Amino acid sequence: MDISTRTRGLIGYGSRYDVLDGKAKAVRTMDLAALLSIAAGNDAGAKLGLVYYSNLAEACAKEGMLFSSSVVLDERKDETVAAMSVTI
């Protein structure tokens, strides 16, 4: 089962001006846990997302299911694509 979301804007950036300062635009790829960790450092409420993510990964491992995630932050398109995959 694959779940993905495409969001207009870049999650994890302080503001849109972090990207618009004239530097070359990049595409960054990371694990969802890494993005949640970055967000948790900036927002106490975001720590809950990291707890849910950890609990989901742990529950899948206990049941022998493979769990993976990825996040693509595309500065050129100004969008974020997050995906989670569970293989039963």
13: closest CA among 37, 32, 38, 47? 38
Q: Domains of the chain: which residue ranges?
A: 2-11+33-87
What are the pLDDT digits (tens) for 31-67? 988 888 887 776 767 788 888 999 999 999 999 999 9
* pLDDT of 55: 95
Q: Are 6 and 72 in contact (CB under 8 A)?
A: no
Element (H, E) at 40: helix 32-42
pTM passes above 0.85: no
